[in-house]
Structures are given as structure tokens and as C-alpha cells.
Structure 1
Amino acid sequence: MATTPEVLVLPDGRMDRKNASKYLGNAPKTLAQWAVKGVGPRFIKRGRVWYFKEDLDHWLKAGAATSTAAARAMEAVQ
């Protein structure tokens, strides 16, 4: 049985990149690369990079309807 990684979410809903990557199931480096390309979830930078759980959930739901072909087409445009 797989265990769910513990994710630290601050009282205001913020997560650092390490915890956001655990929440999404990606590597922190992947989130950093997405941020550079402008294709990942919304984040803020206040000394450190922060993600809000609400934004991660929205990003996940919005991407659920995207096909692999559509994702490749978006990459080609960028």
C-alpha cells in the first residue's frame, strides 16, 4: 500500500516549492522549470517561491481536460 507524503501547508494556505512538488507529485526542479517557461501553476516570490494550495488545486483541475496532443501543441507554440 502506497503512503501519502506529508505536505506542510501553512495556515494561510501557502506551501514552499518542496511541499508543492510533493502535493503535485513532481520534483521541485520540475516546478522550477515550469516557472521559467510560464506553464506551471501560479506562484508568488517573496524572498522564496510560494504556492497557494487553492492555486495548485485550480491548476490541477484545469489540466485534467488537457490531452497529450494539446499539451504538445502548447509547447510548440512557446
Structure 2
Amino acid sequence: MLRSREAARMIGISPRTLAKWRQRGVGPQCVRLGYNLVVYRLSDIDAWIRTRACSAPKATADDLEGTIGLDCTGGLNSVDYISRLRDDRTIKTGKEESKESGMKAEYHELTRRTDRLRDLLAKYADGTLDFEPACPIALLSRQLDVMDEYALILRRRANIEHIDLGEQLIGTGILRDTKPNRENQ
């Protein structure tokens, strides 16, 4: 059992911050032994640190622009900001992401993953793959077909919404027409 001062030192915060967290129910679970005596179990502190570490959002340089408006005294470590991070798990930026940039990012990520899967299947067919895939090759090739079809759907949707996704690379394997066929509508 650790007293508040020892628990705060272990977490890396001040005892006063730990007391504020305890009042708001944000910090690790504690045991109250008297009116003024609060102790913490080592297992509770370890569990709280693990859950806090795995749910921490990953910030990019663009995300850090959204932290400019935070209170200067607390910043990202302020107790008020922790509950907001816990609710949505992301750091909001100052600007709204446009539908166009979201679709472009989704399409380019999809084509990148599709190319990696296509390379893996080609290496397997050549016999140069240095590991044995955990799932059947038929399932991986079916996944590639579905990913290609989804990329085609994204290109058609972008065409309808007048969003330019860039040039379609020949290496993507999606060599179908990006405009819908009038006969099949």
C-alpha cells in the first residue's frame, strides 16, 4: 500500500494533482482508510498506468496546432482536458477536415495496402515469400479482389462528386473504366 505522495511520485505527478484526479474520479483506484488517509495499491496503479498508456492518442504535427487554444497552465496535462480526450480519443485540430481530403486519404491508403497485398501474393506465386501466411492464399486473393472493387467504387463516387483523386496508376490492378456503364445502370 502506497500513500498519496508515493503514488504520485510513481505516476510522475504532484500529490496535489493526484488529489484533484481522485476528486474527479480520473486517477487510479484508491482505498480510504480514514478521514485524511488515502492509500493506493501497487496493482491498481500499474493497471491504471497500462490503460492510460494504451488509450493515449497519437498526435501528429497537424494535431498539435489544435492545442494552441488550451489553458496555458495545464495544457494537455490539465484534468479538464483528460475527460475530453477520454470521450473522443482524438485530438481535434483547429480546422475542419474537408470531405475531399478525407476521400483522397482513404483512397491513397487503400491503394497502398492493395499494392502491398498484391506484392505479397506475387511473391507467394514466385515462391520467394520468406514466411508462410497464416490464412489461405485463396482468402488473400479474394480480399485483394474486394479491395480493388472498393477502390473502383471510391473512384466512381469521387467522379460523381467532382473530386480529383489523382492519376490512376497502372500498377494498381484496377484497370476498369472509372465511369459507370450506362447499360448496367
Taking structure 1 as the reference length, what is the TM-score of the superposition? Answer: 0.70
Counterpart amino acid of residue 25 in structure 2: G
Partner of 1:30: 17
Tell me which amino acid in the other structure corresponds to 1:51. Y
Gaps of 5+ in 1: 1-13
- Is 2:41 aligned against 1:52? yes
Hey, what does 2:86 align to over in structure 1?
A: 74
Assess, with a 3 A threshold, how the Cα gap between structure 1 residues 75 and 36 changes in structure 2: closer, same or farther: farther
45 and 66 in structure 1: CA distance in 2 versus 1, 3 angstrom threshold? same
**TM-score by structure 2 length?**
0.31
How many residues of Structure 1 are paired with residues of Structure 2 in the alignment? 62
Whichever structure has more strand as a proportion of its residues is: 1
Q: What value does the CA root-mean-square deviation take over the aligned residues?
A: 2.0
- Report the residue type matching 1:56 in the other structure: I
Deviations 1:4-62 (A, max 9, x none): xxxxxxxxxx0000000111111001110011101110001102000011100000001
Q: 1 CA distance for matches of 2:87 and 2:10? A: 24
Q: Give the residue type in structure 2 aligned to 1:35.
A: R
Q: Which has the higher contact order (CA 8 A, sep 6+)?
A: 1
- Give, in whole Å, the separation in 1 of the partners of 2:13 and 2:55: 18
Give me the whole-angstrom Cα distance separating, in 2, the residues matched to 1:43 and 1:25.
17
Aligned to 1:39: 26
- CA distance 1:39–1:63, change in 2 (3 Å): same
Distance in 2 (alpha carbons) for counterparts of 1:63 and 1:20: 15
Distance 1:34 1:50 in 2: 14
Q: Which letter does structure 2 place at the counterpart of 1:32?
A: A
> Which structure's CA Rg is the greater one?
2
Moved over 3 A (4+): 73-76
Residue 65 of structure 1, CA deviation: 1.5
Q: For residue 74 of structure 1, report the CA deviation from its aligned partner.
A: 3.4
Q: Give identity over the alignment, percent.
A: 31
